[in-house]
Amino acid sequence: MALIETNHLKKYFKTKSGLLHAVDDVTLKIEKNETLGVVGESGCGKSTLGRVILGLLPATEGDVTYDGESIWTEKGKKKDFVYNEMQMIFQDPFSCLNPRLSIHDLIAEPMIVRKMVKDKKEMKQRVLELMDLVGLSERYVNAYPHELDGGRRQRVGIARALALNPKFIVCDEPVSALDVSIQAQILNLIMDLQDKKGLSYMFITHNLCVVKHISTNIMVMYMGQVVEYTSKEALFEKQLHPYSEALLSAIPLPELRKSRDRIVLKGEVSNPINPKPGCRFAPRCKYATEKCTSQEIPLIEVEKGRKVACALYM
Amino acid sequence: MKKKEKAKSQSQLGLILFRFKKNKLAYISVYVLILIALAILLAPLYMDYDKAIKQNISERFISPCWEHPFGTDLYGRDLLARVIYGGRISLFAGLAVILFSFIFGVIIGSISGYFGGWVDQILMRFIDIFMAVPTIFLAMAIVTALGATPVNLVIAFVICNIPSYSRIVRSSIMTLRNMEYVEAAKCCGTSNLRIILKHIIPNGIGPVIVTATISLGTAILSISSLGFLGLGIAPPTPEWGTLLADNRYYIRYYPYLGILPGVAIILTVMCVNFIGDGLRDALDPKMKK
Amino acid sequence: MALLEVKDLYVNYNTDEGVVHALNGLNFSIEKGECIGLVGETGAGKTTLALSITQLLPKHVGEIVQGSIVYDGNDVLAMNKREIQAMRGEKVSMIFQDPMDSLNPTKTVGHQLLEVLNLHFKELSRKEKQEKVDQMFRLVGIPAERQNEYPFQFSGGMKQRIGIAMALISRPELLIADEPTTALDVTIQAQILDLMRRLRDEFHSSMILITHDLGIVVDVCTKVAVIYCGQVIEFGTIEDVYARRNNHPYTEGLFKCIPDLKSDAKRLTPIKGYMADPANLPKGCKFSNRCDYKSTRCECEEPEFYETGTHGIKCFRFEGQQEK
């Protein structure tokens, strides 16, 4: 049984101008010790998806199951085990740590809240263990977040996420606010922790390159919908959906190139408020035909384990 | 450098104290304020209350001298005694007003700001009603209803002040509740109460502390303005605001009558302001000055 | 003669916690028509350099301790207020990371562009000015009829286009772009880079592109300077640096950090450690504490800038390799 599963998950927000389809019909599966990379641009609903899966936001439709069990009780309350089993690593290492708490208190906080450790000495021991695990030197234990740089802060964030020994962690752009040289350190750390602790991740990012190393499967989202869902190898070999192709080609690579072969998409992402039927990417797509906007484009399995939502493959 | 190391091994409270002590002005202000408070509290031990209220026309308008360090007023009462005994009402009532408005303002503001939605709507509309009435009328109404005692005065002004305090708290909390660390706290199932107490209030309290300390002066003066209208503390009970108000006609000829009580108010208000500034900085770990 | 020459520049920030050495003997020059990428991480001093050139360093805090900045033969540090303002408006323009920084939220975007013209091109007639504004909007890919809208009505990418239009409308000789695409999505970033490349060819102005992304530089620039701890540690043409044959150990590390789409390695190769604290810099080579090739010499002696043709590297490994 998959560790995390969602079935036709939907999350709509009411706005003044209409219903915003932040997450529209997402079905996914994350096995134990696997990483699902969720890729898309801002406003594609990837962060909302992560928060719905963690139960921080209630779903409009559909359910999230952990190990086969729904994370919600019938009365609509979040089940207690969720807190211990599922955690999150945040994007902004500056705003995800309470500036008034010391590093020790920050890492200890989840354990105090969940009443995991009661003894003060034991707590200190546990905090130091966690700091060691994420590669933070012991001398920072009494420091405050503003005394640390972005990379170290993100390590604190990771240590805190690990404090309750979760099995599943949603990483919401954990490296996009960091410098390149630090990015690589943090990515390696996240991968090492997966091997050590048998964690499963949902790794949310806008940079396809970043998920290259870490993911088992990759899901590309556009305006709340899944446009391509496949294994990492298959995706990097060939992107079937025109959006995945453009997304990958848009990443500036530090290589000398003769010709400018990159695809530059026209237009911008708009908000999926009361979206019209048909492919939401069509207005920016160079292959778009009438077929794309005249009917709903379902996510269909084109090869084994490879799903694409594009009229080209219907 | 060594001092810094020492600070690191201290507890949270120790750290706050440590940072507070670094602000010399605030630190001195604490002592000055304690001194003033003691002088006022212990007044009966060294000064007769009679001196402050008993009229003695033969000794009116004596300029400051050895016997009357602050001089005497229109009715020949000793001004020093009046200032000291006046503080019993002004200082403590003023402090009580800002303290309680602060507490209630923070409670109402944080509940309203954190939960939003209908809770916020109800609380804020309620607050709006109070805000719509001019402060002095509201205070007058309350004092008339409850009776003009110092305690009721404090209650009246606390009620008058709560709206502005809770508005300030609410707005700073509304920006804080969307911070990622609040979300992180929710991720491990932290209760709302704990989130408010531990993650939101400590981060949003800075501006409120400043407002509170600045408004001490206003509080002292508004208490006296009620007295002026005949609703507050009735003469001849001395009180800082009334001292200023009563003596203002003679300031041209006997300037000490206005200046000396004024200095008492200014000194106190300044001390509280400095302490407030120091407190705000001390509570913020980013401040290291 | 170089359009802009920065020589041996030292800039300190005097903070409560001590003196932060932001720039430590930085040398840098740009010729007319050149486009140089300035690459470095947070705290390397990229933005400080830009602020020093435009004399926008925070007052009392930022202090130029030593060195010179010469723009077109004029000493920038000796200019008075009016001269600096004239230089900033007409000759040097900036594009900011967050386009909201440069746009006034209470005025329509068209009006704001007109204002720039009113300031610096007083001789033009109203009609000519309006024509110029229309033309500028078309150039950056925004329909001219949208110029009567306010900044908040535009998306991030559009706002950055307007920021670029604002910077370019006075036809500056030098354009300083400080992380112009960092706040944008990848596909929008590609659009903006495309636009900047086109404008570079069209306007022939010189450009300094400040970024942390080696990938962006190769797309737009002809030369690249890598900055670390307030010093240029490598300088060369795009070909020199991106051939990846001879690189400063730091540049080499930066290249390796970026996930390679072709390699199948399980792990990335990060640069170990963190950047030296700018308030407490090491004595020798500033990178020595993170360098895999360091020797004892690196820790106590600062390497010079060893140049081979157009390519210069500040590392002892390249000592004696330069052409005689």
pLDDT 10s digits, A279-311: 889 888 888 888 888 888 888 898 888 999 998
Chains A, B: CB pairs < 8 Å = 74
Q: Do C261 and A210 touch (CB under 8 A)?
A: no
Please report which helix (H) or strand (E) contains residue C53, including its range.
helix C46-53
Position B7 pLDDT exceeds 60: no
ipTM of the complex: 0.84
Position A92 pLDDT exceeds 80: yes
Stated pTM of the model: 0.84
Position B28 pLDDT exceeds 50: yes
Nearest to A188 among C219, C254, C268 (CB): C268
Shortest alpha-carbon distance between residue A173 and chain C (Å): 13
Three state DSSP letters for chain B = CHHHHHHHCCCHHHHHHHHHHHCHHHHHHHHHHHHHHHHHHCHHHHCCCHHHHCCCHHHCCCCCCCCCCCCECCCCCEHHHHHHHHHHHHHHHHHHHHHHHHHHHHHHHHHHHHHCHHHHHHHHHHHHHHHHCCHHHHHHHHHHHHCCCHHHHHHHHHHHHHHHHHHHHHHHHHHHCCCHHHHHHHHCCCCHHHHHHHHHHHHHCHHHHHHHHHHHHHHHHHHHHHHHCCCCCCCCCCCHHHHHHHHHHHCCCCCHHHHHHHHHHHHHHHHHHHHHHHHHHHHCCCCCC
Which of residues 193 through 252 in chain C touch A, CB cutoff 8 A?
193-194, 212-219, 238-239, 242-243
Supply the pLDDT for residue B81.
Answer: 85
Q: Considering only CB atoms, which chain A residues are within 8 Å of C159?
A: none
Domain residue ranges of chain A, discontinuous segments joined by +: 4-215, 238-304+310-314
Q: What percentage of chain B has pLDDT greater than the value 70?
A: 93
Tell me the residue type at A26.
V
Lowest mean pLDDT among B3-12, B133-142, B217-226, C84-93: B3-12
Extended strands (E) in chain C: 4-15, 18-30, 35-39, 62-71, 74-75, 92-95, 174-178, 206-211, 223-228, 231-237, 306-308, 311-313
Most confident option among B69-78, C180-189, C256-265: C180-189
Lowest mean pLDDT among B17-26, B36-45, C256-265: C256-265
Task: With cut-offs at 50, 70 and 90, classify the pLDDT of residue C322.
Answer: low
A95: contact with B, CB 8 A cutoff: yes
A149: contact with C, CB 8 A cutoff: yes
| CATH number assigned to the domain with residue range C4-91+172-318, chosen from the 4 options 3.40.50.300, 3.90.800.10, 3.40.50.150, 3.30.420.40 | 3.40.50.300
d(CA B147, CA B234): 12
d(CA A27, CA A225): 10
Task: With cut-offs at 50, 70 and 90, classify the pLDDT of residue B3.
Answer: very low
d(CA B258, CA B249): 9
Which of residues 65 through 84 in chain A touch B, CB cutoff 8 A?
78, 80, 82-83
Tokens of A153: 């802060």
- Residue A236, Cβ neighbours under 10 Å: how many? 20
> Which of B9, B187, B279 would you mutate first to test chain A, the one with the most A CBs within 10 A?
B187
A15: contact with C, CB 8 A cutoff: no
- C280 closest CA partner among C11, C12, C19: C19
**Average pLDDT score over residue span C310-318:** 89
Tokens 């695809």 sit at which residue?
Answer: A263
Q: Do A90 and B12 touch (CB under 8 A)?
A: no
Q: Considering only CB atoms, which chain C residues are within 8 Å of B289?
A: 16
Q: Do B181 and A95 touch (CB under 8 A)?
A: yes
Supply the pLDDT for residue B266.
Answer: 84
Each residue's pLDDT tens digit, B176-214: 888 889 989 988 888 999 999 989 988 888 878 878 887
Q: Do C190 and A254 touch (CB under 8 A)?
A: no
Q: Are strands C62-71 and A69-70 parallel, antiparallel or unpaired?
A: unpaired
A181: contact with C, CB 8 A cutoff: yes
SS3 A54: coil
Touching partners of A (3+ C-beta pairs < 8 Å)? B, C
Tokens of C90: 């007409």
Domain residue ranges of chain B, discontinuous segments joined by +: 16-44+75-287
Each residue's pLDDT tens digit, A51-89: 999 988 889 988 899 988 888 888 878 888 888 899 999
C307: contact with A, CB 8 A cutoff: no
**Average pLDDT score over residue span B77-86:** 85
**Average pLDDT score over residue span B125-140:** 87
Which of residues 168 through 187 in chain A touch B, CB cutoff 8 A?
none
Please tell me the CATH superfamily of domain A4-215, with its number.
P-loop containing nucleotide triphosphate hydrolases (3.40.50.300)
Domain residue ranges of chain C, discontinuous segments joined by +: 4-91+172-318, 101-171
Each residue's pLDDT tens digit, A240-294: 999 999 888 888 888 877 555 677 888 777 778 888 888 889 888 888 888 888 8
Each residue's pLDDT tens digit, B238-285: 888 777 777 778 878 888 888 888 888 888 888 888 888 888 888 777
Q: Quick one: DSSP state of residue C67?
A: E
Strand partners, A169: A87, A201
**Average pLDDT score over residue span C31-36:** 89
Supply the pLDDT for residue A256.
Answer: 78
> Which of B16, B178, B181 would you mutate first to test chain A, the one with the most A CBs within 10 A?
B181
Nearest to A113 among B179, B188, B286 (CB): B188
**Average pLDDT score over residue span B32-37:** 90
- Residue A299, Cβ neighbours under 10 Å: how many? 17
Supply the pLDDT for residue B5.
Answer: 41
- C6 closest CA partner among C86, C87, C73, C71: C71
Position B289 pLDDT exceeds 60: no
Task: With cut-offs at 50, 70 and 90, classify the pLDDT of residue B228.
Answer: low
Supply the pLDDT for residue A76.
Answer: 79
Task: With cut-offs at 50, 70 and 90, classify the pLDDT of residue B2.
Answer: very low
Q: Do B184 and A92 touch (CB under 8 A)?
A: no
Each residue's pLDDT tens digit, A9-58: 999 998 888 888 899 889 999 999 999 999 988 888 899 999 999 988 88
Q: Considering only CB atoms, which chain C residues are within 8 Å of B288?
A: 16-17
In b/e form, how buried is each residue of B37-56, taking b as 16+ CB within 10 angstroms? beebeebeeebeeebbbeee
Architecture of domain B16-44+75-287: Orthogonal Bundle (1.10)
Position A158 pLDDT exceeds 90: yes
Supply the pLDDT for residue B1.
Answer: 34
Q: Please give the residue of chain C at the shortest CA–CA distance from B4.
A: C17
**Average pLDDT score over residue span B102-114:** 92
Q: Considering only CB atoms, which chain B residues are within 8 Å of C17?
A: 288
Q: Considering only CB atoms, which chain A residues are within 8 Å of B8?
A: 142-143
